[in-house]
Amino acid sequence: MAEDRGIRTLDDLLRVVRALAFEFNTDNVFVVGSQAILASMPDAPEPARASPEIDAFPENAKIWELEENAKSPGGDPNVASEHIDGLFGVSSQFHRTHGFYIDGVDETTAKLPAGWQVRAIKVRTEVAGRSVYGIAPAPEDLIASKLARLDDRDKQFVEAIHAQRPLDLDLVERRIHETNLDPALQQRAIAYIRSLRPEKKPEAAKLP
């Protein structure tokens, strides 16, 4: 097995796009989760790129499932995310060869703000003589989705990104409001984002 390389790169993301575009015969692959940052920020700090996996799914996942299930009616249902895990997941040949794996997800996995696809970042590569594209959330949309769970790893990710390339915190806050998170979770996420703002220094007293 190839030694796990814990720091992901843009080349890794493009490899994922090619693999799923070829397997599912699609032109577009959605990449979500933390490693989607590679599309907009290939030089993201290492703590933000420290992951053994990239979360992704093909644009035509539902169509693929319908077509595959029609071939064997009455059998076990074919699920695109499970198919991805089997071919490209943990301990797969893909994992052994490349030192990271693809986590098969779907459009409901990441709690992204409404309209994120309009703002998405696209990266282009080629497979089998055709252009294919990885589609990833813009940074503020991605950050908003990472705040849904808000565990220590999510905080480390957000803070590493913000330290290297300061985020538009007002925009992130608006994006949080555009998610379908429970209001209590939204408020928790907003409180965390506000905690990243620099503290205002008290003004010096004016001499009479």
Looking at residue 74, its pLDDT comes to: 82
How far apart are the C-alpha atoms of 139 and 144, rounded to whole Å?
Answer: 9
Is the pLDDT at 2 greater than 80? The verdict is no
| Percent above pLDDT 70 for the chain | 93
How far apart are the C-alpha atoms of 113 and 111, rounded to whole Å?
Answer: 7
Residue 187 DSSP code: H
Give me the chain's average pLDDT, please.
Answer: 94
Looking at residue 6, its pLDDT comes to: 86
Residue 204 DSSP code: P
Is the pLDDT at 5 greater than 80? The verdict is no
Looking at residue 97, its pLDDT comes to: 97
pLDDT in tens, 84-135: 999 999 999 999 999 999 999 999 999 999 999 999 999 999 999 999 999 9
Looking at residue 199, its pLDDT comes to: 73
pLDDT in tens, 147-189: 999 999 999 999 999 999 999 999 999 999 999 999 999 999 9
pLDDT in tens, 35-85: 999 999 999 999 999 999 999 999 999 999 999 999 988 889 999 999 999
Looking at residue 62, its pLDDT comes to: 98
How far apart are the C-alpha atoms of 137 and 139, rounded to whole Å?
Answer: 6
Give the three-class secondary structure for 48. helix
Confidence of residue 25 (pLDDT cuts 50, 70, 90): very high
Looking at residue 1, its pLDDT comes to: 47
Q: Where are the domains of the chain?
A: 10-138
Tell me if the pTM is above 0.75: yes
Asked if residue 98 lies in contact with residue 2, where contact means CB atoms within 8 angstroms, the answer is: yes
* 114 vs 3, more confident: 114
